[in-house]
């Protein structure tokens, strides 16, 4: 999966039909304004276990939303609206931002983003491919 406007060339995401909203791992979040438009700057570890691999992203801030996670904890999260690309299909979705360092997947794709576009087969895995290695080679700049 790709998030082209955030300059994330590949990220492993889990389809989560139990989650209403999609979520992306983010840290060092900073809200700022450009010509009257609110933006958010944040950093992402796109590959689990590779903390030195850091991507810096800027997105259009849509607002904030109270989200209840699978453990029942409520958290106020920033929301961005951005295009997502899966295979040859691209569309815009809302994504909330939160720290997911302890989670297996850097991103969850929730049911609102999937509605009317896909039928989910829970017996299948990695239908869009599995390897992130070609996107994050040794030549990728790393920051600590």
pLDDT of residue 68: 84
Q: For the segment 77-97, what is each residue's pLDDT rounded down to a tens digit?
A: 999 999 999 888 899 999 999
Question: 139: pLDDT confidence band, cut at 50, 70 and 90?
Answer: very low
Q: What pLDDT sits at residue 79?
A: 97
* pLDDT for 29: 97
Number of H helices, E strands in the chain: 1, 8
Is the CA virtual torsion 20, 123, 2, 92 positive or negative?
negative
CATH of the domain at 100: 2.40.70.10
Query: pLDDT by residue (tens digit) across 33-69?
Result: 999 999 999 999 988 888 889 999 999 999 999 998 7
CA distance 59 to 7: 10
Short-list 28, 17, 97, 24, CA closest to 64 = 97
pLDDT at position 120 is 73
Number of domains in the chain: 1
| Cα–Cα nearest to 77, from 110, 99, 55, 93 | 99
Whether 51 is covered by a domain: the verdict is yes
Query: Could you tell me which residues come within 8 angstroms of residue 86 by beta carbon, excluding any fewer than 6 positions away?
Result: 1, 2, 128
Structural domain boundaries enclosing 13 = 4-114
Residue 109 lies in a domain: yes
What's this model's pTM, rounded to 2 decimal places? 0.82
> What pLDDT score does 135 carry?
59
With respect to residue 119, please indicate whether it lies within any of the assigned structural domains: no
């Amino acid at each position: 999966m790709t998030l082209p406007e955030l300059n994330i060339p590949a990220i492993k995401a889990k389809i989560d039909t139990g989650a209403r909203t999609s979520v992306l791992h983010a840290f060092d979040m900073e809200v700022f304004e450009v010509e009257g438009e609110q933006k958010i700057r944040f950093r992402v570890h796109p590959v689990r276990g590779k903390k030195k691999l850091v991507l810096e992203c800027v997105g259009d801030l849509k607002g904030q939303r109270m989200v209840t996670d699978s453990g029942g904890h409520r958290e106020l999260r920033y929301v961005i609206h951005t295009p997502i690309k899966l295979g040859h299909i691209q569309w815009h979705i809302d994504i909330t931002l939160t720290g997911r360092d302890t989670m297996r997947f850097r991103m969850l794709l929730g049911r609102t983003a999937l509605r009317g576009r896909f039928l989910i087969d829970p017996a299948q895995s990695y239908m869009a491919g599995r390897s992130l290695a070609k996107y994050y080679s040794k030549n990728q700049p790393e920051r600590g």
